[in-house]
Structure 1
């Protein structure tokens, strides 16, 4: 009987952990609002096929919207092949084909941060740079 109760407790815990990401996932509209706020005061540039990847730069995931890479004056927005499936509770595993660069057509596998299971597959599209606009001039 104890064994059944212990198993039931473990099953309930496992279910709660797998339900957490779904409860956390935002909507497309919330993601677009978050991205718009991040891009305030920035101007879009010409899309790029590849961008340099520096270890000090940060990659942020905005639910159901985009992956934002970089920091400082210029950041890059990556919508991927299927932005609706992007979830900030996922860990990105990028398979690069451009050496030290992130490039269009690089493969991204996502792994659920809580369960460790495969959660998706994306292909990078072009990177759109957004640069701060000089407010003084």
Structure 2
């Protein structure tokens, strides 16, 4: 009997360790999207982060897979990096429940599968950092 419990505990420990190994570093989506985001922000300077922005035209909201949400407003590019970016997938639909007329980091955002319509995740935004040209 004791052998069985040790075997189960060892298997559970190995499974937990393998899960940690896969979440430790950036995945291929993050590497690609970080490069894409760096290219977009090249030559721009980060400003003071804000918790809310005026985001009236939601068609300017762009998802960078497993990385960030970007909003373009004139010459300013606003970037919010979620606390758990792996929930972001550009093929999903963002369903945003706003708490005010602005887009805020405390707004509830669900990701929904475009084909089947089921919820695939929840996104908790970080502060919005403005990037402008000097």
TM category, shorter: 0.7 to 0.9
| Larger helix share, 1 or 2 | 2
Secondary structure in 2 matching 1:87: coil
Is 1:112 matched up with 2:113?
yes
Q: 1:120 to 1:52 in 2, by over 3 A?
A: same
Structure 1 position 44, deviation (Å): 0.5
Selected match of 2:55 from 53, 77, 90: 53
Structure 2: state its 5+ residue gaps.
1-27
C-alpha separation between the residues in 2 aligned to 1:90 and 1:116?
9
TM-score, normalised to structure 1, is 0.72
Is 1:132 matched up with 2:99?
no
Structure 1: state its 5+ residue gaps.
1-25
Secondary structure in 2 matching 1:125: coil
Structure 1 position 115, deviation (Å): 2.0
Structure 1 position 47, deviation (Å): 0.6
C-alpha separation between the residues in 1 aligned to 2:83 and 2:109?
10
C-alpha separation between the residues in 1 aligned to 2:44 and 2:86?
24
Q: How many matched pairs?
A: 108
TM-score, normalised to structure 2, is 0.74
| Residue in structure 1 matched with residue 102 of structure 2 by the alignment | 101
| Residue in structure 1 matched with residue 79 of structure 2 by the alignment | 77
Structure 1 position 67, deviation (Å): 0.5
Structure 1 moving runs of 4+ over 3 Å: none
| Residue in structure 1 matched with residue 41 of structure 2 by the alignment | 39
